[in-house]
Structure 1
């Protein structure tokens, strides 16, 4: 059981670090957008690469930050029943949701996007605009990064739910937990 605790803790730590780093993309996106507006409307100057960098950052923010959002329970859901449910009910919903829906969806995402991403790398696909960024092949690779981070976080959520349902954790929360609290779990 200690191994499961360590795995969930490592995944949570990874997604927390990644989320904290990728959050800077929002700040950078705002700065670039401000610069683009000033250049366009004050100096009548337009730059395709700067404009494209905004949507690159926007995509990175949402795709790479999705695992972090799942960790902190920030995804949109209809929680009419979940919100007021018991911890046991929430653990079952999260365990089944992770195993039946999220992890298979992440695997399917990688499988279905395989040719799409590989072909982009094969030709080192770039922007369709002459002065655009030549990084579309890297941008498409973020599909796999998204699936990996969300899939890992779903695994962590499933582990936490499983450990709670097995009586190895005193209270249930899909979010980050202090896995090394005294008495939190029996050393098995």
Structure 2
């Protein structure tokens, strides 16, 4: 079995609710956060399978079509390729918020399905997010959890806290070197 790195998208990989972009509904709204390309490359080099697990309620609410979401994910993969980084798979929940579906975080179904399809040992894997539902989904799936946001630090019961994704990657590199 392999190790997995499950990453939330908005706020972990790309900007959202920033001065430059509010929501990412088109490829031109997608901007990688600083250090993300290098971080994902480090995860790749450390032998992690890297997955994106993202709630995309804008599809269910009619703000974007699934084809536009795929265009955004293609842009993400193209941007990451400039760093020599790659994503193994993207899973998304297109349902409206409060739809009570099994796939919308904090439910763990996206993580569980990816783990099953890619032979991932969840106990040796990480879920990295910037919100409480990300951490809850990771815990329910059986991963270690990492919160990379100060604004929800006192609400989330994460296993670890870091300021950004590159800090997680540096920490894991140091850990693997020991």
Q: TM-score, normalised by structure 1?
A: 0.23
More strand by share: 2
More helix by share: 1
Structure of greater Rg: 1
Q: TM-score, normalised by structure 2?
A: 0.23
Higher RCO by CA contacts (8 Å cutoff, separation 6 or greater)? 1
